[in-house]
Structures are given as C-alpha cells and as structure tokens.
Amino acid sequence: MKKIVLFAAAIFTVTAVSAQTGEITSARGENWLSQDGDWGLTFDAQPLLNYAGNLFNGNQNNGGVGLNNFFSSYSSNGSQVIIGGKKLIDANTAYRGKLRIGFGSDKTTTIVDVAPVATPVPAFPNPLPTTENVTKDGFLAIQIGAGIEKRVGSTRVVGIYGAEINFGIGSGKTTNEYGNAMSQTNQEQPRVTESKQGSTLGLGLNAFGGVEWFCAPKLSLSGEYTWGLMLKSTGYGSTTTEYWVPSLTVPNTGAAQEVTVDNGPKTSSFSLDTGVSGASIGINFYFQ
C-alpha cells in the first residue's frame, strides 16, 4: 500500500510540473511524445524498484509490483523476463503484446559411500570410497499476451486504457541420479528417479487503465492496474520409482525396473479480480 501511495504522489507531482511547463519538446526541438507509426518496447521496472528500495533501507528482500503470473506454483529461483512491445497505428491507438519467460534449474550433489559389488562384502580401504547422488530441479513457464491500447492526452502525462488477452503454459520436474546402481548386492528400498509436476494451462482476459509519463524524449514510465478474468488448469503430475526385482528361476540374479504412476491433485480455477499483485510499472522506449 505504501508503494502505491508513493507512486500516486509521484504521478501527481510530475502532472503538476507538466502543467506548469506545457512543453512537449526538448531544448533541441526533439518531440517528447510517441507519435503515429512509432514502435515501442516496454520493460518491467520491478527489478529497479527492488534495487532502489534496497539502497534506501538496506533490505535485500524488498518486493515490488509485477505482472499477473499464472505459474506461482513453480520455483521462483529461476529468471523471469517480462518484455512488452507496441505499435502505434495512430496518435491515440496502439496494438501491444507481452512475453513472459520463466525458467530455472537447481542441482544438488551429495556424497555417499560406494555400495558393495559382491557377496560377501569385500574389505574396503580406509577411508571408504565414495560416489555422488545428484538431484536436479527445473521448470519452464511461458506467457504471451496481445491487446489494444487507447491513449488520451497531449501533454507529458498520457492516460492509457484498453484490453488484453493472455495465454500461458508451464511445467516442472525433479530428477534423481544415484551413484550406486541397483544390483543384486545393492537392493535398496524403492527410490524415486523422476517426479513431474502437472502441466499448467492459463487463459486470461482483462481490461487495464493507467498513466504514462514522458520523462525524456521518447522515454516514459508507465503504471497500470488490471481487472478481468482468469482461467487456470493444472493436470496430474507423475512419479517414476526404481526398484529391484529378483529372479524367480535363476538364483542370485534379477533386474532393476521402473514404474511410473500419476499423482494429484488435478485442479482448475476461475477468478474475476484485479491483477494478482495490483499494479505493473514499466519503462517504455519509442522509436520510428
């Protein structure tokens, strides 16, 4: 709430300055505002807000406002890239699109003792030989959006409103690699080799409104609120387990086998509300 109030105060301040100057060109005669035919690129300003907050109070965990995210169930340790583009078809109308890519991976390595390879157990040297177990976590989430934007005003503060549709997919899994292979002499309890999260599909349709402040020629800061509906469905996940199956016909033989089973829950949701985290703040660049 504090950040929203500060943002509103900042917009009020720049509005007052704009009203006093009435200037929309630079000292060199450059046009400050976007124009018919311009292309625009929008970048999420959340990392800059977090960095500025850290500078002011020394806290390394400041949150920020962000775009709607269908994939909050997946790991947040990876990177997320939010890029928007727009094309002004006239001075007051623009087509726009957004792309959000989230991906990441973690790898954990654990040292374990080497399992015996024969019966009876041979004498091992001291210290005992070791091997490694490796666990890998990964996820991928992609969200795309398209819409139309209407623009109101001819000063450095421009009102914007419009509608967008968003579609997203996401998935994640964990794999385990064991240094000690299963064998007749290493018949461990059943162990998980792979665990997949249920794939997520999301569809959103929302209206948005906000302001855009041109702080330099063809460069602006924007703030938007969204309101609309969101449909999300997550399917069943699966778990693959490895276990040792002894032979019933030949003594002292057998084989490692894997079995994969689905697991839940399977979910679906519907909501009609404001954006997940309230507002989004962007940095916009315009060029011919």
**pLDDT tens digit sequence for 175-197:** 999 999 988 878 878 999 999 99
Q: In this structure, is residue 60 part of a structural domain?
A: yes
49-58, 130-139, 246-255: the lowest-pLDDT one:
49-58
Question: Considering just the CA atoms, what is the radius of gyration of the chain in Å?
Answer: 28
Q: In this structure, is residue 83 part of a structural domain?
A: yes
Mean pLDDT of 244-267: 84
Q: Please determine, for residue 14, whether its predicted confidence score (pLDDT) is greater than 80.
A: no
Q: In this structure, is residue 287 part of a structural domain?
A: no
Q: In this structure, is residue 285 part of a structural domain?
A: no
Mean pLDDT of 48-60: 50
34-48, 197-211, 227-241: the lowest-pLDDT one:
34-48
Expressed as residue numbers, the domain containing 139 is 2-277
Mean pLDDT in the chain?
A: 78
Q: In this structure, is residue 213 part of a structural domain?
A: yes
**Total domain count, the chain:** 1
Q: How far apart are CA 150 and CA 9, in angstroms?
A: 24
Mean pLDDT of 41-62: 58
Assign residue 254 a region (left: φ > 0; alpha: ψ between -120 and 50; beta: otherwise): left
**pLDDT tens digit sequence for 128-157:** 789 999 999 998 888 899 999 999 988 889
Q: In this structure, is residue 66 part of a structural domain?
A: yes
Pinpoint the alpha helices (H) of the chain. 2-21, 46-57
Q: How far apart are CA 83 and CA 206, in angstroms?
A: 18
The one-character DSSP state at 233 is E
Q: How far apart are CA 261 and CA 265, in angstroms?
A: 13
Q: In this structure, is residue 286 part of a structural domain?
A: no
User: Higher confidence at residue 214 or residue 281?
Assistant: 214
Q: How far apart are CA 4 and CA 281, in angstroms?
A: 11
Q: In this structure, is residue 288 part of a structural domain?
A: no
pLDDT for the residue 123: 62
Q: Please determine, for residue 276, whether its predicted confidence score (pLDDT) is greater than 90.
A: no
Cis previous bond, 251, omega within 30: no
Q: Compute the Cα dihedral for 155, 89, 85, 164 and give only its sign.
A: positive
Mean pLDDT of 33-61: 68
